[in-house]
Chains A and B, each alone.
Chain A
Amino acid sequence: MPQDAIPNDLPDDPTAPVLRTVPADALHRELGARMVAFAGYSMPLQYARGIVAEHTQTRNQASLFDVSHMGQAWLRGALAAEALERLVPGDIVGLREGRQRYTLLLNEAGGILDDLMVARRAHDALFVVVNASRKENDASVIAASLPDSVRLEVIEDRALLALQGPAAASVLARLAPDADKLPFMGVATVTIDGSACDVSRSGYTGEDGFEISVPGDAAERVAGVLLAQPEVAPAGLGARDSLRLEAGLCLYGQDIDELTTPVEAGLTWTIGKRRKMSWDFPGALAIRDQLDNGPHRTRVGIRPDGRAPARAGALIVASDGTGAGTVTSGLFSPTLSAPIAMGYVRRDLAADGTPLALMVRDKPLPARVAPLPFVPHRYRS
């Protein structure tokens, strides 16, 4: 087996930059995590029980993920929401205190610079969570567009934990009774084991759950208290990836990037109603044109026949032999016990059930366009 296929090999390039560690690094090692390099951080890929067991645990009970590599920041100032709206298509001005919204940082061509969560914590304070691989770029894009009265404060001293699964709410309610009152995409500050934590009812698995911003020096203790609950076990980035793909959620850098637009990616629902009247966000003209005339390509779910998964990068061929697009994410779904994928295809091939072939090891693998998500969401309503 070629070495590069083995996922636990850290680069042995002596010039490789030193990996950053998350505040609970020692805890992960103690728990037997297999650590991998991800976005410049040493992160748990999986623990001893393996990705499938961690995935199933999340769907049936609850898992704790450490996602402290993600970027957290405050945007402060009375005009913070107005300032952010110059960069994203979401309705941020209309976001009520205690609520969070998923939105996109766009470039002038309508390409996606990042996808992010924005929470309104006060009339003059927004809390944002961005992708690890994009945080430096996001910070410079945001900072460059802010008026003097609004400042961006990048948070370096907090960890981010995700408690996900159908048992997450009862677990967190045991430790912080107020947390269970949160609606889906609600945010609040609650005390967990003596530490003030900023909790949002959201996640990246398709299950009910919470993302918990914890002071860095309390991360191991809070994680330990959560892991001590009988319904909870640790899970790594491997299970996080299979869970989010089953849920049909995009991974930045794979399914969306600077060359994909919200229309192509099927994320037009992130464009606020008011923003669709004023068309005053970056790339609005290009996006409006795609909405009016249809994009050339669109993101779809794909179910390969048989059991062989198609991976990111596999070419997609139409039944008449013409090029149809590319797979952007693909793996074996533990819930369905079958391979699943997402990718971009020509607009005329995007209807559910359309037969396609995926080129895997130079052979066409029969597949069909399938509705997303592959596994229904079970968010708290």
Chain B
Amino acid sequence: MTTRYTKDHEWVRLEGYVATVGITEHAQEALGDIVFIELPEVGREVEPGDACAVVESVKAASEVMAPLAGKVIETNATIVEEPALVNREAEGDGWFFKLEIADSEAFDELMDETEYTAFLETLE
């Protein structure tokens, strides 16, 4: 199972044609205490860059973009009930939604872990 990353600080994990999407450890750290999450409707068709989810900390609001084109097939209700789970488990149980994608080539074009780590260093 491969994980890829976006410049908007999302991670994407692909299993077959199902991409699981969340925000990275860097993103949760930068946001601080997360207090509110809004997830997309199941069944929604999204294009890359579409605002799909909302994540708010005490201080800041942010949107989670669709990293790939696809259809939302599942969302993580647990993080709506318990937003702090994303702070604790950003890249695990704190996932946001699953997309059924048609094209895995676009996935391969996203950054791998080494590239994302290098990208983070350019932000320092």
B38 at the interface (CB under 8 A from A): yes
Give chain B residues whose Cβ lies under 8 Å from the Cβ of A307: 35-36
* Interface secondary structure of B, over-half rule: strand
Give chain B residues whose Cβ lies under 8 Å from the Cβ of A6: 9, 27, 30-31, 60, 62
A52 at the interface (CB under 8 A from B): yes
Give chain B residues whose Cβ lies under 8 Å from the Cβ of A16: none
Q: Given A2-B8, A6-B30, A46-B32 in contact, is the A334-B58 Cβ separation under 8 Å?
A: yes
Contact indicator A50/B61 (Cβ below 8 Å)? no
Contact indicator B59/A52 (Cβ below 8 Å)? no
Contact indicator A51/B33 (Cβ below 8 Å)? yes
Contact indicator B8/A1 (Cβ below 8 Å)? yes
Tally of contact residues, B, Cβ under 8 A? 26
Tally of contact residues, A, Cβ under 8 A? 27
Give chain B residues whose Cβ lies under 8 Å from the Cβ of A339: 36
In the bound complex, CA of A51 to CA of B84 (Å): 13
Give chain A residues whose Cβ lies under 8 Å from the Cβ of B65: 1-2
Give chain A residues whose Cβ lies under 8 Å from the Cβ of B27: 1, 6
Of A5, A9, A308, A331, the contact of B58 (CB 8 Å cutoff)? A331
Q: What are 17 of the A-B contact pairs (CB < 8 Å)?
A: A1-B55, A1-B62, A1-B64, A2-B63, A3-B8, A5-B31, A6-B27, A6-B31, A9-B30, A51-B32, A55-B58, A242-B59, A308-B36, A308-B38, A308-B56, A332-B57, A361-B51
| Interface residues in chain A, defined as those with a beta carbon under 8 Å from any beta carbon in chain B | 1-3, 5-9, 45-46, 50-53, 55, 238, 241-242, 307-309, 311, 331-332, 334, 339, 361
| Interface residues in chain B, defined as those with a beta carbon under 8 Å from any beta carbon in chain A | 8-10, 23, 27, 30-33, 35-36, 38, 51, 54-65, 123
